[in-house]
């Protein structure tokens, strides 16, 4: 599982934050569903670990039959193969709203938006994010402070991308929020704020960092120069994701770097194990602003909202041919 509840404090802990909590001292953790609460063990959280941090149950111990989040994972697997019904979606805690963490007057990170009556629940929770920040959510199963679960739903449920997602007060279907970066600028139509995604460049030079910013180079570009006998093929005007380091915390910047390295490492492991699928790629997903006239190939990251996945992306409506 990618999140658990701290038994002592009641906070919801994202697995990605374990690397930073590890330095302070880990706690005891349990399943976040109140009807389950089985013990969960933090794993792969040390700096030397190459795999993503995660929570696992004790050997031989399973989640309860009524565990909502265990059922959610099973539903995601069903969503790969068929359209989930309205009844299944009603009981499924898929993300319907992305809520950025903000500071109140006291400096505490909270969820400050006004939720409608249909979004109100009797319970609230405090979530510790990988950035080290905290966010209070009224509906922990629908409102999320990270795009991680949003991206997972998009990838794993290609038949149900017509459900709505709200970001910064704007509601539209998942399929309209997501925009793949794959075509030249002249025909790509990259406009406004969206959940953009594209293939990572596998070169060791895919991340260039200065004192002010971090730039992530994508595989996609305006064109390619053909290789010759003396040099390999070369990108012409590659698309780049620009991260303003002053706008995010050091922990969030470290998490972003880890995300990219995890996806690249997953691809390398697949190659090493001879499990390479040409339809799977190391993708970066981010909430950002499209390029503007002065910098036509540079996307701007918003609030550090970025994750990476080694995955196969199916077209919307569940066509069987992968993108």
Q: Give residue-wise pLDDT tens across range 172-201.
A: 999 999 999 998 888 888 999 999 999 999
CATH of the domain at 204: 2.40.50
What is the bridge-based pairing of β-strands 234-244 and 102-103? unpaired
Q: What is the pLDDT of residue 323?
A: 55
Classify residue 158: in a domain, yes or no.
no
Classify residue 169: in a domain, yes or no.
no
Number of Cβ within a 10 Å radius of residue 184: 13
Mean pLDDT of 20-43: 87
Classify residue 94: in a domain, yes or no.
yes
In the chain, how many domains are there?
Answer: 2
Mean pLDDT of 104-121: 33
| Packed helices 148-156 and 68-79: angle between N→C axes, nearest 10 degrees | 40
Do 10 and 146 lie in a common domain? yes
Classify residue 40: in a domain, yes or no.
yes
| Sequence-ordered list of residues with C-beta below 8 angstroms from that of 51, at least 6 positions apart, any chain | 44, 262, 265
| Sequence-ordered list of residues with C-beta below 8 angstroms from that of 131, at least 6 positions apart, any chain | 17, 101, 248, 249, 251, 252, 255, 304
Classify residue 216: in a domain, yes or no.
yes
d(CA 281, CA 263): 9
Mean pLDDT of 52-59: 88
Q: Are 11 and 5 in contact (CB under 8 A)?
A: yes
Q: What is the pLDDT of residue 104?
A: 39
Classify residue 301: in a domain, yes or no.
yes
pLDDT band, residue 137 (cuts 50/70/90): very low
Do 98 and 232 lie in a common domain? no
Do 146 and 229 lie in a common domain? no
Q: What is the pLDDT of residue 70?
A: 81
Do 144 and 26 lie in a common domain? yes
Number of Cβ within a 10 Å radius of residue 191: 10
d(CA 203, CA 201): 6
Classify residue 320: in a domain, yes or no.
no
More confident residue, 34 or 243: 243
pLDDT band, residue 21 (cuts 50/70/90): confident
Do 112 and 239 lie in a common domain? no
Percent residues over pLDDT 90 in the chain = 41
Q: What is the pLDDT of residue 113?
A: 33
pLDDT in tens, 197-206: 999 998 877 8
Q: Domain of 299? A: 176-312
pLDDT tops 80 at residue 227 = no
Q: How far is CA 200 from CA 61, 90, 213, 277, 281, in A?
A: 38, 35, 18, 16, 8
pLDDT tops 50 at residue 162 = yes
Which residue is it, tokens 């990988």?
130
Read off the pTM. Answer: 0.79
Q: What is the pLDDT of residue 101?
A: 61
Q: Are 10 and 21 in contact (CB under 8 A)?
A: no
pLDDT tops 60 at residue 135 = no
Q: Residue 254's closest CA among 4, 17, 14?
A: 17
pLDDT tops 60 at residue 134 = no
Most confident of 18-22, 70-74, 127-131, 304-308: 304-308
Mean pLDDT of 8-33: 85
Domain boundary among 135, 151, 167: 151
Classify residue 159: in a domain, yes or no.
no
Core vs surface per residue 124-150: b (16+ CB within 10 A) or e: ebbbbbbbbbbbbbbbbbbbbbbbbbb
Q: What is the pLDDT of residue 127?
A: 46
Mean pLDDT of 102-119: 36
Question: How many alpha carbons fall within 13 Å on the CB side of residue 135?
Answer: 22
pLDDT tops 50 at residue 56 = yes
- Ramachandran angles phi, psi of 76, nearest 5°: -60, -40
Most confident of 112-121, 139-148, 212-221: 212-221
Q: What is the pLDDT of residue 310?
A: 92
Q: Residue 115's closest CA among 158, 166, 149, 79?
A: 166
pLDDT in tens, 252-286: 998 899 889 888 888 888 887 777 777 899 999 99
Domain boundary among 84, 118, 151: 151
Q: What is the pLDDT of residue 35?
A: 86
């Amino acid at each position: 599982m990618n999140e658990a509840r701290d038994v002592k404090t009641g906070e919801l802990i994202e697995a990605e934050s374990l690397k930073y909590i590890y330095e302070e001292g880990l706690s005891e953790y349990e399943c976040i569903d109140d009807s389950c609460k089985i013990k969960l063990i933090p794993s792969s959280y040390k700096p030397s670990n190459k795999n993503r941090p995660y929570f696992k149950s004790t050997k031989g111990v399973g989640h309860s039959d009524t565990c909502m989040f265990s059922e959610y994972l099973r539903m995601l697997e069903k969503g790969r193969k068929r359209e989930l019904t309205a009844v299944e979606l009603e009981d499924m805690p898929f993300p319907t709203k992305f809520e950025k963490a903000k500071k109140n007057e006291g400096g505490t990170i909270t969820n400050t938006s006004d939720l409608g009556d249909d979004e109100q629940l009797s319970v609230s929770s405090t979530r510790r994010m990988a950035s080290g920040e905290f966010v209070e959510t009224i509906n922990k199963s629908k409102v999320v402070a990270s795009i991680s679960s949003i991206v997972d739903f998009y990838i794993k449920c290609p038949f149900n991308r017509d459900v709505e997602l709200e970001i910064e007060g704007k509601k539209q279907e998942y399929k309209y929020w997501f925009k793949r970066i794959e075509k030249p600028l002249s025909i790509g139509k990259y406009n406004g704020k969206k959940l953009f995604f594209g293939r990572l460049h596998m070169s060791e030079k895919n991340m260039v960092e200065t004192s002010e910013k971090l730039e992530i180079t994508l595989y996609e570009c305006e064109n390619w120069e053909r290789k010759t006998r003396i040099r390999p093929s070369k990108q012409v005007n590659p698309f780049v994701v620009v991260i303003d380091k002053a706008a995010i915390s050091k922990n969030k910047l470290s998490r972003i770097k880890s995300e990219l390295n995890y996806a690249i490492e997953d691809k390398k492991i697949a190659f090493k194990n001879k499990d390479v699928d040409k339809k799977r790629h190391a993708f970066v997903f981010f909430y950002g602003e499209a390029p503007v006239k002065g910098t036509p190939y540079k996307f701007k990251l918003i609030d550090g909202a970025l994750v990476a996945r080694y995955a196969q992306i199916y077209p919307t409506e569940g066509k069987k041919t992968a993108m």
